[in-house]
Structure 1
Amino acid sequence: MAVAICAFIWTFTTILGPSGNLALSPVVSGVLSTPTNVRLTSSNMNLMLTWDSPDRPATSQVYYTTQFKSSVSDFKVGCVNISNLECDLSQLNVSIFEYGKYTGRVRSQSGTESSTWEESNQITLDKDTIIGSPIVSLSSNGAAIEVTIKDPVFTISALRKVYHSVNYNITYWEDGWREKARSNSNIQQNRVVLNDLDPWTKYCVQVQIITERNPNLSIPSAAVCESTTTEEEVPWVAAVGTFCIVALAVALVVVAVVYRKHMSHFLCPKDALPQHLKEYLLAPPISSMYLAMRNSHPPDEIYHQVSIIADGRPTTEGRKENLQQTA
């Protein structure tokens, strides 16, 4: 009897809690199943905890609470009382290190009951994250195609800050002939020109990212296609032509400087004219008309006096004016 009374008192105290009020916190129970297939993954440097529903569904709505920890810290609170089956830990107001090792855990809750924690796998963020596909654009330049590559956007930091060595694997093929694809590996530039192409042909290009710290290749980009056009002049031909023109111009300048005296003598000769030509050119003209004009006196000017009459009477001013015009 005493044992039964003690058991009743212990159970009643547990339900009320130390304060004497009804306990509102969830009580761990073996009846509520834990979530299954709990896994921690990363894509483009995010931190995603996912799980499946418990094997034995509860009679009421089930909510989930998550936590995570790094290799140097204890568990921190993640998503609380959510109904969906995933929690993006990188979107929470917590600091996540690019090179950290992380583990997550989740438990289910229904009413005042909660299951035990179910722990996930551990991942090293920079080594285990799945790098997304790069963005590829093409532009045709004669019989060549220029490939421009844009890195995927990371949730934490950027691709080239996390990975100091980034290479591209470029695969290209004639449209409809994927089995004959060619590849350029270990390309570090994000702008590459494919020259070994046929004119007036459609080619498709696909790119993957390769890093040293992450052993996995990135998700390949979508295949992008572009057509070549007329065969373009080989670049070295234009370079050789330009060099020849410059060399010829320099040679002409050197020749002009070295042989400037000979050229000036050729263009402006200094040989004297024969004496008989000088006498002929310097002799005065002997034309009779020229002599007559030189020896003749200037002809006399013929003029008539003009009188200005006002009111029928000549005036003194009129006579003065007449004299001025006559003069």
Structure 2
Amino acid sequence: MLQTDSMWRCVCALVLTFPAYSTAVSGVLNSPTNVQLTSTNMDLVLKWDPPAGAPRDLVYTTELILRKPLMDSKPGCVNTSALQCDLTHLVVSIYGRYTGRVKAQLGAQSSAWASSDDFLLDKQTSIGPPNVSLYSNGAKLEVSITDPVFVHSSLREIYYYATYNITYWKKDRMKELKHISGLQQNRVVLHSLDPSTEYCVQVQIIASTAQKPSTPSIVHCARTPSEKEPPWVAVVVALFILAGVLTLVVFVVRHWRSLSHFLCPKYAIPEHFKESLLAPPKSSLYLVMQTSQPVEEFSDQISVVMCSRTEEDGSKKPAEEKR
């Protein structure tokens, strides 16, 4: 009986260890699982899960296969320990159909390739949230929207028709949502809002050929100003200003003489200053100019000789003119 029990134990141990032994002998590893291509704003990333019971020093190698418009494959990450690989730099067409694949490696051992499903980049990429700014403009709120930045091209170049959906509500009444759909302009004014009330706004992009809308934007909130002042307040303010101006004019007219003496005082010049200013200059040059005689001018007589033609022989006949 003891020999029989020991024999069965040996058989069971051999059966349990046979798969691991056969795997080590064959040098074949299990392939990665849950392989998928993901994309946000036109990038391209391959992700996967490690094989069951994978050792810590397991590494991976990836490839990107372009299936449409042309069949081509390009190597991606090599001997990486991460569980994802950025393949954005390998994208050759934003309208292409791609497949990613990955295999596990441990020394000389290598698993079979594990492939993802086909991925249409322009249709399946996730569009990120738009950037939104909210401004208070009188009794209205102005919403400013900016498209997310794409890795390849831009949103408007890839999706010829893209619109905005705006959702807004009073901050304390989230169940009472209001929507504005199909907007193409990136600046929108929200009208008919209650004064002195805080409103919140969220925006989402709907692209023409994308399979799903964009991620909603961050919620932005702003308060509308208080009720506008009634028209009579402006009339009263204008009357006060006019009364002030009239009072100032009357004061200036009644006290003009005093103001003129204050602003433009009259000062008498001392006598010795007057004598020094009216006295003739004592400069030697000035005295010489006053006493000198006019300079006599001389001129010489100049004779000017002019020639004229005769009608018969065409010879020149001098003519003299004196000046």
Q: Smaller-chain TM-score range?
A: 0.5 to 0.7
Out of 52, 56, 62, the position equivalent to 2:53 is 56
User: Is 2:33 aligned against 1:36?
Assistant: yes
Describe the SS at the equivalent of 1:160. helix
Mapped to 2, the partners of 1:152 and 1:138 lie a distance apart of 17
Mapped to 1, the partners of 2:65 and 2:226 lie a distance apart of 60
Please name the residue that 1:292 is paired with.
none
Q: Measure how far apart 1:76 and its partner are.
A: 1.1
Mapped to 1, the partners of 2:81 and 2:160 lie a distance apart of 40
In structure 1, give the amino acid aligned to 2:77. Answer: C
Q: Measure how far apart 1:232 and its partner are.
A: 6.0
Task: Determine if contact 1:29/1:115 at 8 Å carries over to the other structure.
Answer: no
Out of 77, 80, 99, the position equivalent to 1:79 is 77
Alignment of 1:7-156 (within 5 A): 31-58=28-55, 61-71=57-67, 72-90=70-88, 92=89, 94-156=90-152
Mapped to 2, the partners of 1:219 and 1:140 lie a distance apart of 25
- How many percent of aligned residue pairs carry the same amino acid? 51
Task: Determine if contact 1:134/1:149 at 8 Å carries over to the other structure.
Answer: yes
Counterparts in 2 of 1:29 and 1:84: CA distance versus 1, 3 Å? farther
Mapped to 1, the partners of 2:47 and 2:27 lie a distance apart of 22
In structure 1, give the amino acid aligned to 2:80. Answer: I
Mapped to 2, the partners of 1:191 and 1:28 lie a distance apart of 67
Task: Determine if contact 1:142/1:199 at 8 Å carries over to the other structure.
Answer: no
Counterparts in 2 of 1:232 and 1:127: CA distance versus 1, 3 Å? farther
User: Which is higher, the Rg of structure 1 or of structure 2?
Assistant: 1
Please name the residue that 2:188 is paired with.
192
Task: Determine if contact 1:32/1:56 at 8 Å carries over to the other structure.
Answer: no
Mapped to 2, the partners of 1:28 and 1:140 lie a distance apart of 73
Structure number with higher strand proportion: 2
Task: Determine if contact 1:142/1:231 at 8 Å carries over to the other structure.
Answer: no
Counterparts in 2 of 1:232 and 1:148: CA distance versus 1, 3 Å? farther
In structure 1, give the amino acid aligned to 2:64. Answer: F
Counterparts in 2 of 1:35 and 1:29: CA distance versus 1, 3 Å? farther
Counterparts in 2 of 1:29 and 1:219: CA distance versus 1, 3 Å? farther
Please name the residue that 2:162 is paired with.
166
Deviations 1:140-168 (A, max 9, x none): 01110000011111111111111111100
Counterparts in 2 of 1:185 and 1:177: CA distance versus 1, 3 Å? same
In structure 1, give the amino acid aligned to 2:146. Answer: K
User: Is 2:198 aligned against 1:202?
Assistant: yes
Out of 209, 212, 220, the position equivalent to 2:208 is 212
Mapped to 2, the partners of 1:200 and 1:107 lie a distance apart of 61
In structure 2, give the amino acid aligned to 1:57. Answer: A
Deviations 1:37-69 (A, max 9, x none): 0011111111110000111313x6111100011
Counterparts in 2 of 1:161 and 1:56: CA distance versus 1, 3 Å? same
In structure 1, give the amino acid aligned to 2:61. Answer: T
User: Is 2:182 aligned against 1:182?
Assistant: no
Let me know the Cα RMSD of the aligned residues.
Answer: 1.9
Q: Measure how far apart 1:97 and its partner are.
A: 1.2
TM (norm. structure 2) is: 0.61
Deviations 1:22-44 (A, max 9, x none): xxxxx995631111100111111
Deviations 1:281-321 (A, max 9, x none): xxxxxxxxxxxxxxxxxxxxxxxxxxxxxxxxxxxxxxxxx
Mapped to 2, the partners of 1:28 and 1:158 lie a distance apart of 52
Identify unmatched segments of 5+ residues in structure 1.
1-26, 234-327
In structure 2, give the amino acid aligned to 1:83. Answer: S
Task: Determine if contact 1:142/1:230 at 8 Å carries over to the other structure.
Answer: no
Task: Determine if contact 1:137/1:149 at 8 Å carries over to the other structure.
Answer: yes
Counterparts in 2 of 1:111 and 1:232: CA distance versus 1, 3 Å? farther
Identify unmatched segments of 5+ residues in structure 2.
1-23, 230-323
In structure 1, give the amino acid aligned to 2:176. Answer: K
Mapped to 2, the partners of 1:155 and 1:83 lie a distance apart of 25
Mapped to 2, the partners of 1:155 and 1:129 lie a distance apart of 11
Alignment of 1:257-296 (within 5 A): none
In structure 1, give the amino acid aligned to 2:136. Answer: S
TM (norm. structure 1) is: 0.60
Tell me which stretches of 4 or more aligned residues in structure 1 moved more than 2 Å: 27-31, 230-233
Counterparts in 2 of 1:201 and 1:76: CA distance versus 1, 3 Å? same
In structure 1, give the amino acid aligned to 2:131. Answer: I
Mapped to 2, the partners of 1:28 and 1:203 lie a distance apart of 68
Please name the residue that 2:12 is paired with.
none
